[in-house]
């Protein structure tokens, strides 16, 4: 098969590690000259002695392999004492004393948990996102680690997929900006200091496009779509100097990513210039056997040939590469290349200078879960919440109100942290009820659980695999619980209903075909609605959900994702107006599952539907609108913002000129607030079909009541570029529409003509 990746021009961008480090090369060359073949293959082996297990294999004989020098790194253990123990074995007992590196899924914080990545992305605040990664790196390195399996940058347009929670939503441009911010946060300028670590961008590639939203499923997509909408965030991380890349589980063009040479070598290394190490996902080498590509020896050779350096957990490299070398299925050079990249990573981490540099026993007490990290977590969480509805300004609440606080997530520390919080301790999290009592001590709180998160036994069993009490089943009957909640509502001025998904209803292996609130909770809300009391729904979710009934019947909806350690305090800050919400959705909320995949930057069709009442032969549904319930970029504030018409500096441009587009933004409400002003561009005519519009910039603006500001965007031909039929990244002369607005559906627009 022809590798189409090979014909694409190199994207522009500078890899900050591209310079040849002569000293490092000399060191690694000299070390490798002393290594046996077995020791070299040993470096390609990443194992876990337990802990963070996301599949069936737990590595056996780790201790013995460490002594033989057959392990390159460990993941799934934390604490300087434990990592030191393992390091001592490698350094004192293996022949060449090569240190190990220690990795973990540090995804949205380490011990101090920030909002899940989907929530973080809704802040549209790159400085805050970078800060969250900086703190995570400081905590993780204080905990004995030097490698984080993050950022996860998979673009996802299907909220059935449980791992939408781990990424930054549906937009490639925003996803790329966030990827860079995360890499900067984790790695700093480089990752040589002891409070930075090596990041790992994942899952390369296209994992978020699994068919039917079912995890680990196949991916099949056109090259143009891949280049335009799925690859940019990985590329952005590479340009930002990310030290490692993790291959994904899915196949692409009928070859699993882990054994896909077009992807791992032609695209990643040759075209993007990536110089770091590529690690497989958990047993993804072995899983190529299930994909139907042959036995373990065959697929391990395939992976090495494709450009994979390190085998996570599967030990296919360890047990078969020597045989494959003897049979001529792989070359010595390929083994050497992979080994070199792993040793280089260790060199850059400073491990050859001091193998114990990330194992300082004095650090945990001063760097982990401090008042400072908690304060940051509270602030960042508040910025991630999205206000979806606020009729009659029911929010913010008065601090002296009488509040019926109901719902299965109102008093659940267990569910505050969200998915992938492997090092987090939920007992340190702040539940919503605690946060409300902290922020509004004079409020009269009448608490009632009201419902279980779900009463569906299969869902409960599958969700509770790791944490048996995540969906906690009350001894009382559903009717009794609802009756108690209704009685509480009747005594109160307002109801705050804290509902949604359990933490592990999203994340890995947590796809859902029904993405609405579980029936038990809908029954509760319906009973509460009958009381006539105003209801504020606080939603916990790791994905876009279908909320039709809720959007019509709740008075306010605050989407809080999974807010992390300080979730309860941050939610209370927003409910009572200490912080005016400013988050905007980075994923479209469908009206029903039948609309999926749904995303704002869809293509024009030949038969566009313009909401004509009697439309026939148009691209629409008979039973639901084409529009999402809440569009990409949407989010309300306690204040209101007014956008002037758009001003464009020119209407005709030529070549490399710069266009200035601006609006005057006014805070027309009564309190200060932040607004994410979004820039989109439509390419009206091109040689290939283009989307209706694409995000090209954004600015987060703070305005005092009555204050106005001109928000200016500079536009160059760079922002007009797209991948054409030859997969060339270029722009074409013609008409463009520039849009500036408050979300992807509400914009002020103006036309220009731009010729080459
Ligand atoms: C499998 C997941 O897909 C990946 O994201 C994670 O880093 C590894 N397991 C290690 O836990």
User: pLDDT of 372-406, one tens digit each?
Assistant: 999 999 999 999 999 999 999 999 999 999 999 99
Binding site membership of 54 for ligand 1 (Cβ less than 6 Å): yes
Residues in the chain: 756
pLDDT tens-place string over residues 471-527: 999 999 999 999 999 999 999 999 999 999 999 999 999 999 999 999 999 999 999
- For the cut 50, the answer to whether the pLDDT of residue 307 exceeds it is yes
Question: Closest Cα to residue 713, out of 625, 627, 647, 618?
Answer: 647
Binding site membership of 52 for ligand 1 (Cβ less than 6 Å): yes
Q: Which segments within 466-569 are labelled E, that is strand?
A: 494-500, 535-540, 556-559
Q: Establish whether 559 is a catalytic residue.
A: no
Distance between CA atoms of residues 103 and 198, nearest Å? 9
Distance between CA atoms of residues 718 and 754, nearest Å? 12
Determine the residue of 150, 244, 312 to mutate for testing ligand 1's pocket, defined as the one with the most ligand atoms within 8 A of the Cβ atom.
Answer: 312
- For the cut 70, the answer to whether the pLDDT of residue 10 exceeds it is no
Binding site membership of 53 for ligand 1 (Cβ less than 6 Å): no
Q: Whose CA is nearest to atom 3 of ligand 1?
A: 281
Question: Closest Cα to residue 119, out of 300, 364, 382, 341?
Answer: 382
Binding site membership of 504 for ligand 1 (Cβ less than 6 Å): no
CB 498 within 8 A of CB 488: no
What spacing in Å lies between the alpha carbon of 94 and ligand 1's midpoint? 28
Predicted pLDDT of residue 190: 86
What spacing in Å lies between the alpha carbon of 548 and ligand 1's midpoint? 34
φ, ψ dihedrals at 294, nearest 5°: 120, 180
| CA dist 322 → 191, 304, 318, 325, 451 (Å) | 33, 12, 8, 5, 58
- What does pLDDT average to over the chain? 95
Lowest mean pLDDT among 324-328, 488-492, 612-616: 612-616
What spacing in Å lies between the alpha carbon of 265 and ligand 1's midpoint? 22
- For the cut 80, the answer to whether the pLDDT of residue 2 exceeds it is no
Predicted pLDDT of residue 155: 98
Distance between CA atoms of residues 20 and 750, nearest Å? 47
What is the mean pLDDT of the segment spanning 312-325? Answer: 97
Determine the residue of 201, 281, 284, 287 to mutate for testing ligand 1's pocket, defined as the one with the most ligand atoms within 8 A of the Cβ atom.
Answer: 281
- For the cut 60, the answer to whether the pLDDT of residue 268 exceeds it is yes
Q: Which atom of ligand 1 is nearest to the CA of 166?
A: 5
Residues near 708 by beta carbon (within 8 Å), at least 6 away in sequence: 664, 665, 666, 667
Q: Collapsing DSSP states into helix, strand and coil, what is residue 647?
A: strand
CATH level 2 (architecture), domain 641-755: Sandwich (2.60)
Lowest mean pLDDT among 20-29, 65-74, 105-114, 380-389: 20-29
Predicted pLDDT of residue 34: 98
Q: Whose CA is nearest to atom 10 of ligand 1?
A: 282
| CA dist 438 → 433, 434, 507, 568 (Å) | 9, 6, 30, 9
Sign of CA dihedral 597, 231, 309, 31: negative
Determine the residue of 508, 509, 510 to mutate for testing ligand 1's pocket, defined as the one with the most ligand atoms within 8 A of the Cβ atom.
Answer: 508
Distance between CA atoms of residues 223 and 220, nearest Å? 10
What spacing in Å lies between the alpha carbon of 711 and ligand 1's midpoint? 41
CATH level 2 (architecture), domain 374-586: 3-Layer(aba) Sandwich (3.40)
φ, ψ dihedrals at 502, nearest 5°: -75, 160
Q: Which of 154, 239, 266, 281 is catalytic?
A: 281
What spacing in Å lies between the alpha carbon of 132 and ligand 1's midpoint? 20
Q: Which atom of ligand 1 is nearest to the CA of 52?
A: 11
CB 665 within 8 A of CB 702: no
Lowest mean pLDDT among 18-22, 251-255, 603-607: 18-22
φ, ψ dihedrals at 498, nearest 5°: -100, 105
Q: Whose CA is nearest to atom 1 of ligand 1?
A: 282
What spacing in Å lies between the alpha carbon of 410 and ligand 1's midpoint? 30
Binding site membership of 282 for ligand 1 (Cβ less than 6 Å): yes
pTM equals 0.97
668 pLDDT band, cuts 50/70/90, is very high
What spacing in Å lies between the alpha carbon of 217 and ligand 1's midpoint? 15
Lowest mean pLDDT among 12-16, 655-659, 678-682: 12-16
Predicted pLDDT of residue 469: 86
Binding site membership of 149 for ligand 1 (Cβ less than 6 Å): yes
Predicted pLDDT of residue 679: 99
Q: Which atom of ligand 1 is nearest to the CA of 422?
A: 11
Token pair recorded at residue 328:
């001529």
Determine the residue of 52, 53, 54 to mutate for testing ligand 1's pocket, defined as the one with the most ligand atoms within 8 A of the Cβ atom.
Answer: 54
Q: Which atom of ligand 1 is nearest to the CA of 248?
A: 3
Binding site membership of 420 for ligand 1 (Cβ less than 6 Å): no
| CA dist 575 → 32, 407, 499, 537, 669 (Å) | 59, 16, 15, 11, 18
Q: Which atom of ligand 1 is nearest to the CA of 152?
A: 5
Lowest mean pLDDT among 457-466, 510-519, 691-700: 457-466
| CA dist 199 → 65, 110, 196 (Å) | 26, 13, 9
Q: Which atom of ligand 1 is nearest to the CA of 203?
A: 5
Predicted pLDDT of residue 7: 47
Determine the residue of 58, 78, 105 to mutate for testing ligand 1's pocket, defined as the one with the most ligand atoms within 8 A of the Cβ atom.
Answer: 105
Q: Whose CA is nearest to atom 4 of ligand 1?
A: 281
Binding site membership of 147 for ligand 1 (Cβ less than 6 Å): no
Using alpha carbons only, how large is the chain's radius of gyration in Å? 26
φ, ψ dihedrals at 414, nearest 5°: -50, -35
What is the mean pLDDT of the segment spanning 657-664? Answer: 98
Q: Whose CA is nearest to atom 8 of ligand 1?
A: 282
- For the cut 90, the answer to whether the pLDDT of residue 728 exceeds it is yes
Q: Which atom of ligand 1 is nearest to the CA of 149?
A: 7
Binding site membership of 281 for ligand 1 (Cβ less than 6 Å): yes
What spacing in Å lies between the alpha carbon of 266 and ligand 1's midpoint? 24
Q: Which atom of ligand 1 is nearest to the CA of 54?
A: 9
Token pair recorded at residue 234:
């990985």
What spacing in Å lies between the alpha carbon of 425 and ligand 1's midpoint? 19
Predicted pLDDT of residue 466: 83
pLDDT tens-place string over residues 521-579: 999 999 999 999 999 999 999 999 999 999 999 999 999 999 999 999 999 999 999 99
Beta bridge partners of 678: 698, 741
Predicted pLDDT of residue 8: 47
Distance between CA atoms of residues 172 and 185, nearest Å? 20
Predicted pLDDT of residue 406: 98
Distance between CA atoms of residues 416 and 409, nearest Å? 8
What spacing in Å lies between the alpha carbon of 399 and ligand 1's midpoint? 43
Locus of tokens 């719902």: 407
11 pLDDT band, cuts 50/70/90, is very low
| CA dist 454 → 458, 461, 546, 693 (Å) | 10, 11, 16, 39
Instruction: Locate the domains of the chain by residue range.
Output: 374-586, 641-755
What spacing in Å lies between the alpha carbon of 280 and ligand 1's midpoint? 9
Question: Closest Cα to residue 562, out of 167, 115, 159?
Answer: 115
- For the cut 70, the answer to whether the pLDDT of residue 686 exceeds it is yes
């Amino acid at each position: 098969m022809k590798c189409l990746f090979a014909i694409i021009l190199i994207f522009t961008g500078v890899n900050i590690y591209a310079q040849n480090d002569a000293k490092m090369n000399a060191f690694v060359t000299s070390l490798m000259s002393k290594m046996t073949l077995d020791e070299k293959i040993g470096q390609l082996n990443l194992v876990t002695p337990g802990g963070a297990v996301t599949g069936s294999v737990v590595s056996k004989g780790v201790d013995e392999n460490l002594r033989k020098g057959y392990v390159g790194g460990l993941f799934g253990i934390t604490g300087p004492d434990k990592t030191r123990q393992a390091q001592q074995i490698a350094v004192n007992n293996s022949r060449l004393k090569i240190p190990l590196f220690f990795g973990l899924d540090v995804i949205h914080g380490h011990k101090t948990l920030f909002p899940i990545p989907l929530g973080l992305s809704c802040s549209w605040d790159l400085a805050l996102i970078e800060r969250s990664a900086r703190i995570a790196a400081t905590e993780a390195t204080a905990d004995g680690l030097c490698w984080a399996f993050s950022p996860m940058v998979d673009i996802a347009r299907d909220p059935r997929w449980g791992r939408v929670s781990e990424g930054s939503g549906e937009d490639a441009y925003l996803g790329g900006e966030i990827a860079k911010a995360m890499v900067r946060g984790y790695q700093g300028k480089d990752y040589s200091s002891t409070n930075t670590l090596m990041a790992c961008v994942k899952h390369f590639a296209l994992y978020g496009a699994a068919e039917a939203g079912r995890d680990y499923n196949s991916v099949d997509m056109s090259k143009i779509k891949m280049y335009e909408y799925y690859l940019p965030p990985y590329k952005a991380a590479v340009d930002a100097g990310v030290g490692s890349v993790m291959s994904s589980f899915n196949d692409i063009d009928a070859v699993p990513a882990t054994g896909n040479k077009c992807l791992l070598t032609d695209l990643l290394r040759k075209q993007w210039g990536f110089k770091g190490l590529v690690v497989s996902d958990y047993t993804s080498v072995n899983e190529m056997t299930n994909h139907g590509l042959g036995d373990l020896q065959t697929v391990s050779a395939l992976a090495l040939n494709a450009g994979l350096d390190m085998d996570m957990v599967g030990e296919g490299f360890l047990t078969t590469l020597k045989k494959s070398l003897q049979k001529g299925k792989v070359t010595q050079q390929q083994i050497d290349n992979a080994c070199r990249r792993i040793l280089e990573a260790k060199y850059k981490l400073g491990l050859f200078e001091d193998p114990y540099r990330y194992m300082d026993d004095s650090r945990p007490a001063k760097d982990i879960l401090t008042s400072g990290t908690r304060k940051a977590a509270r602030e960042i969480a508040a910025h991630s919440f999205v206000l979806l509805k606020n009729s009659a300004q029911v929010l913010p609440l008065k601090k002296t109100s009488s509040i019926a606080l109901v719902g299965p997530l109102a008093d659940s520390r267990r569910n505050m942290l969200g998915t992938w919080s492997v090092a987090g301790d939920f007992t340190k999290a702040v539940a919503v009820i605690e946060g409300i009592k902290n922020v509004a001590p004079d409020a009269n709180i009448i608490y009632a659980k009201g419902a279980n998160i779900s009463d569906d036994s299969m869902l409960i069993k599958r969700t509770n695999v790791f944490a048996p009490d995540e969906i906690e089943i009350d001894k009382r009957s559903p009717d009794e619980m609802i009756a108690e909640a209704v009685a509480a509502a009747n005594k109160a001025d307002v109801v705050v209903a804290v509902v949604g998904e359990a933490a592990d209803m999203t994340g890995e292996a947590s796809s859902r075909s029904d993405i609405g609130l579980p029936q038990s909770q809908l029954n509760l809300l319906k009973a509460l609605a009958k009381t006539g009391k105003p209801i504020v729904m606080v939603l916990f979710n790791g994905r876009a959900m279908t909320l039709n009934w809720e959007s019509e019947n709740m008075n306010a909806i605050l989407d809080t994702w999974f807010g992390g350690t300080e979730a309860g305090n941050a939610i209370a800050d927003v409910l009572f107006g200490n912080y005016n919400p400013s988050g905007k959705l980075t994923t479209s909320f469908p009206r029903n599952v039948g609309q999926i995949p749904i995303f704002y930057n869809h293509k024009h069709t030949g038969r566009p539907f313009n909401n004509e009442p009697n439309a026939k032969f148009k691209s629409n549904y008979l039973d639901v609108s084409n529009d999402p319930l809440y569009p990409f970029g949407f989010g309300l504030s306690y204040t209101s913002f007014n956008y002037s018409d758009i001003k464009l500096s020119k209407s005709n441009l030529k070549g490399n000129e710069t266009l200035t587009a601006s609006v005057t933004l006014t805070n027309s409400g009564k309190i200060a607030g932040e607004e994410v002003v979004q820039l989109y561009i439509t390419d009206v005519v091109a040689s290939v079909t283009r989307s209706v519009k694409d995000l090209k910039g954004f600015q987060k603006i703070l305005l005092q009541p009555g204050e106005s500001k001109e928000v200016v965007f500079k536009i160059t031909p760079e922002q007009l570029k797209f991948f054409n039929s030859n997969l060339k990244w270029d722009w074409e002369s013609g008409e463009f529409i520039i849009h500036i607005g408050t979300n992807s559906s509400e914009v002020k627009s103006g036309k220009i003509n731009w010729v080459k």
